[in-house]
Structure 1
Amino acid sequence: MDKVAIVILNWNGEKMLKEYLPSVLEYSLEDDGVVYVADNASTDGSILMLREHFPQVHIIQLEKNWGFAEGYNKALEQIDAELFVLLNSDVEVTHHWLIPLLEFMDNHSEVAFCQPKLLSEQDKNAFEYAGAAGGYLDKYGYPFCRGRIFDTVEDDNGQYDYPAEVLWATGACLMIRAVDYWKAGGLDGRFFAHNEEIDLCWRLRLAGRSGFCIPDSVVYHVGGGTLPKGNPVKTYLNFRNNLTMLYKNLSDQELSHVMRVRFFLDYLAAFQMLVLGRSLGDFKAVVKARRDFSKWKKDFTADRRHIQETRLVPVGCINGIFDFSILWKYYAKGKKIFSSLKK
């Protein structure tokens, strides 16, 4: 059994692998990390390049593009390890990046998952949008991070250089115990991509487990991946999956109210996208996401029932879900950075 398996999911990412895989190998193998690349049936030269230039990498070839969520499930089924690290192919790691994460997990058995501090590859003095220094939700299900709220990304001045409990850790670089991953059922493959790591972390938190950001570990993330920001497909997946995540994980006491508010806020967002000229495609994506959520919600009824019947944490008692609207704080109150939210 591996102590820690670092698993990079790849789909036509030959260029990214060439650029960033060398840092993963240089700074992970020395600390007993075993590196895997799970390939989602790429049609570029990824596999040939890996075999020729990176023979120390273990390759898992999947028969089709399963997406982020199910792709990881299929790959991790084939790996025997105590800890998994789900790592994007566009991440540059740093010297001994694994050590703080491993030490924290070894010393805190109650912790199911953690992440490093995520900084931007383009501007290494700034946080990166996807995960920054750990993730949270407001009461209506909108995600934000220490270091990033909506489009406001902070410079890293050491203001979050302490371990902090989080609701969710970024899928760009997520360390998770294998036993917790499988006990929770893994990532929800039906999501395909986007919000799947938040959903998984939330389920683990409801089950009484915890998660942390460990800023002594630092990595740099390009971000955007195969679907850059502003792409209607990305907009669609984010809205559809976020609503589905709320349906699965919110308590009976919370669900009806939150969904009524989200109906209004989602359509407000859609019209704002149209008026501000982002594109007709984004507007249609939000409308389609809500329609498709209504159609497939019944497919998640059993999941919802199981999560609610087995939850160990009382309603309103999960650290990391804030009892305010981040939209109101950000746009009405001008609270643009995480440290200002409680003031």
Structure 2
Amino acid sequence: MTQSPRATLIIVAYGRHDLVATLLDSIAEHTPEPHEIVVVDNASPDSTAAVLKKHRSRPRVIEAPRNLGYGGGVNLGVREAAAETTVIMNSDLQVTPNWLPPLLMAIESRTATIAAPLYVDTNGNVIESGASITVDGHIHISQTPGTGIKPVDHVSAACWAFDKQWFESVGGFDPTYGLGYYEDVDLVNVARSHKHIVAVVNDSQIVHLTGGTFDSGASQQLSHRNHARSERRWYWMYRGNAKTPWEGETAVTHGRVAVIGHHPDIVRELREQNISVVTLDDVETLRQRAHRDDVVVTQDKRTEAKQLAPRAQIAQPEDLLEALKRAGITPSATPPNSRFHAITATRSRRW
């Protein structure tokens, strides 16, 4: 009788099937615990999906219709996860002996909501043991190992363990970050804004080869764009101000608007302006969104919306334009590169 998996390992791949195969080999060697492997192929331009389907570990390969980025690929994979505890993984990793049990213990005991290993290089030198986030939203990586389970401001999502139900309850990675960076910063802040623990589990070590699939110019552009978005969205938390996110200043990125009820004309117009929109059936849904929204549109639930989303500008449909200005969102903004236009189709989706 086949054992139920204790963990679902989700690997997001874009090309470089050789890297993924190396990771799969290391998992096979060092992971005796019952697990399943899901590989999300992000529309690789080569034969990655076909090659990995033949790997001896027999991963379940899900082929995305287009490159969803790391966060979007994870969201797709989590939907298919059979186990309660999910472990997401970059393709440029190699696991080491006894890497999984400490992560599982941290999540199953509810010691941490997000648990990451200690990242080391091929010589065993620590390359990341968590990070601090400064008031301007920049990440400062620590390379000082600790002991046991160490709470941190942030840790790279190259490998995270978390409870699937929690991940789904907050909507997963925000797709507005697209093909770039900082979607992990956003989700860490979601967890921390709900007083959950984000931690590095020092008894678990994983080799991070620090590879990548972006050219340096694109990487820099993506990083700057998404840092600006993250900084504006979470400024209230970095400064301890839960009410006014850079009010009056012009945003350099696209904001996020939650529309409560049926307002198709508003939703369509916002999407045309490259502003991220999510539609909600009722105001209570805001409770799970962890202050993600910059503006909330509601016809008759303004008081309730303000209680549930204290950071957001609350507006009736006819006052939306002024609310966008107060939130620092610039309509008619366009993504900085044509490659990002395809992302707009996914922006209003929870996954």
Taking the aligned partners of 2:22 and 2:66, their CA distance within structure 1 comes to 24
Letter in 2 for 1:61: E
- Picking from 137, 146, 155, the partner of 1:160 is 146
1:267-286 correspondence to structure 2 within 5 Å: none
1:218-243: per-residue Cα shift (whole Å, max 9, x none)? 00011131125xx1211111121122
For the residues of structure 2 that align with 1:298 and 1:19, how far apart are their CA atoms?
39
Aligned: 1:19 with 2:5: no
Structure 1 residue 139 corresponds to structure 2 residue 135 = yes
User: How many aligned residue pairs are there?
Assistant: 265
Letter in 2 for 1:115: A
Deviations 1:155-196 (A, max 9, x none): x6xx42342111223111111111121111100112122111
Deviation, 1:125, is 3.6
Higher relative contact order (CA 8 A, sep 6+): 1
| Structure (1 or 2) with the larger CA radius of gyration | 2
Aligned equivalents of 2:24, 2:190: Cα separation in 1:
31
Alignment match, 1:190: 176
Q: Please give the alpha-carbon distance, in whole angstroms, between the structure 2 residues aligned to 1:115 and 1:15.
A: 24
Residues 110 and 209, structure 1, Cα contact 8 Å, conserved in 2: no
Secondary structure of the structure 2 residue equivalent to 1:144: strand
When normalised by structure 1's length, the TM-score is 0.69
Mapped contact 1:248–1:300 kept (Cα < 8 A) = no
Instruction: Tell me the TM-score normalized by structure 2.
Output: 0.67
Q: Is the 8 A contact 1:208 1:311 kept in 2?
A: no
1:256-288 CA-to-partner distances (Å, cap 9, x unmatched) read: 39x98xx9xxxxxxxxxxxxxxxxxxxxxxxxx
Alignment correspondent of 1:299: 276
> 2:116 corresponds to which letter in structure 1?
Q
Q: CA deviation at 1:255?
A: 3.3
**Residues 1-343 of structure 1: pairs in structure 2 closer than 5 A:** 2-28=5-31, 30-107=32-109, 109=110, 111-121=112-122, 124-128=123-127, 132-147=128-143, 159-192=145-178, 193-227=180-214, 231-251=216-236, 252=242, 255-256=245-246, 291-293=252-254, 299=276, 303-305=293-295, 310=308
Alpha-carbon RMSD across the aligned residues, in angstroms, is 3.0
Retained in 1: the 8 A contact 2:86–2:161? yes
SS across alignment from 1:185 = coil
3-state SS, counterpart of residue 81 of structure 1: coil
2:6–2:84 contact (8 Å) kept in structure 1: yes
Mapped partners of 2:136, 2:158: distance in 1: 24
Q: 1:292–1:199: structure 2 CA closer, same or farther, 3 Å change rule? A: closer
Q: Percent sequence identity over matched residues?
A: 20
SS of the residue 1:237 aligns to: helix
Whichever residue aligns with residue 36 of structure 2, its letter is V
- Report how far residue 254 of structure 1 moved: 6.5
Cα distance, 1:96 vs structure 2: 1.4
Matched-pair contact (CA < 8 Å) for 2:92–2:208: yes
Other structure's SS at 1:50 match: helix
Task: Tell whether the 8 Å contact from 1:97 to 1:217 is kept in structure 2 after alignment.
Answer: yes
**Cα gap change, 1:311/1:170 in structure 2, threshold over 3 Å: closer, same or farther?**
farther
CA contact (8 A) 1:136 1:144 kept: yes
CA 1:202–1:26: 2 relative to 1, 3 Å = same
State the one-letter code of the partner of 1:139: V
**Per the alignment, do residues 309 and 46 of structure 1 end up closer, same or farther by CA in structure 2, a change over 3 Å counting?**
farther
The 1:254/1:117 distance shift into structure 2, 3 A limit, reads farther
- In the alignment, residue 62 of structure 2 is paired with which amino acid? I
Structure 2 vs 1, CA of residues 15 and 102 (structure 1 numbering), >3 Å: closer, same or farther?
same
1:110 Cα deviation from its structure 2 partner: 5.4
1:19-65: per-residue Cα shift (whole Å, max 9, x none)?
2320022222x112211111112231212222323352121122221
SS in 2 for 1:194: coil
Given residue 135 of structure 1, which amino acid in structure 2 is its aligned partner?
A: A
Unaligned 5+ segments in structure 2 are 237-241, 256-269, 279-291, 297-304, 311-351
Aligned pair in 2 of structure 1 residues 214, 310: CA closer, same or farther (>3 Å)? farther
| Unmatched tracts of structure 1, length 5 or more | 148-155, 264-289, 313-343
Q: Is the 8 A contact 2:42 2:64 kept in 1?
A: yes
State the 1:92 CA deviation. 0.6
Q: For 1:305 and 1:218, how far apart are their aligned partners in 2?
A: 41
Higher helix share: 1
Cα gap change, 1:243 to 1:291, in 2 (>3 Å) = closer
